[in-house]
Structure 1
């Protein structure tokens, strides 16, 4: 597997720099510095390492001195982690689906950005039900309300905060009769609570018979 081999090579070359002054994701290299004045030295170290191992870069794909950029489908900046606007637009431009393929397409698009949406499984439960064996693709009022509610939320999605390993984490959880959800958060340097991650899932049939405490 070429991708896995390349990743192993990058990890070998930059093992002492990864998670400190850079990140490596297959063929994407990210150099990082907290202060602009430190960035040239970070670049010097990384470029020297590339020269040492005979690795070349494509100048047309290199960007230097920026405060943010797209990485792994997200927008990374000093603000935090934002969802790629193209993924938001893909959802906002959808019309209510009329068949199973359309429902799966809508849910698939949400799956790619679900970490930005609180209690998503509960919000789209009427739509998820359409894929059950004993349900037909009957787009009800509840389905449409769920569809429009998610689209309204995505007009102003939250910016997520990368976790700080030396700060305590805060976990909020919620259980309903159809889903489980939680929010992982942390206080930033200004003591403001910031979201790190939203996660949720639909209960399995046998789990719906548990009490809420269970």
Structure 2
């Protein structure tokens, strides 16, 4: 919260007058402010191994064992449960996250081609292809 704006969050109880010193969740702009801050703080890592999506911050990673590199099942679950992207920025974030694991997915380029088309701004029918691909079992 910007210093000097605390008074804008003031509320009164029987015990006295209180002001927030940090931005409370529930304020209209809190989610976008939080996401903007996380994008600033993690800027150097976004698209390399971090995705920021509202209050979810995903760090791409592998599990290293004596058998070699393996996929972290928790991360795969996050990809499977990822909400359908609603704008180009969200498509880019998801595409970057999914691309990190491309070595584990046979024919990844073919599977991700609708996303790649959207990211490259060949939006024509790519949006519809994306929706069809995302809704497959």
After TM superposition, the score normalised by the length of structure 2 is 0.46
Q: Greater strand share, 1 or 2?
A: 1
Q: Greater helix share, 1 or 2?
A: 2
After TM superposition, the score normalised by the length of structure 1 is 0.31
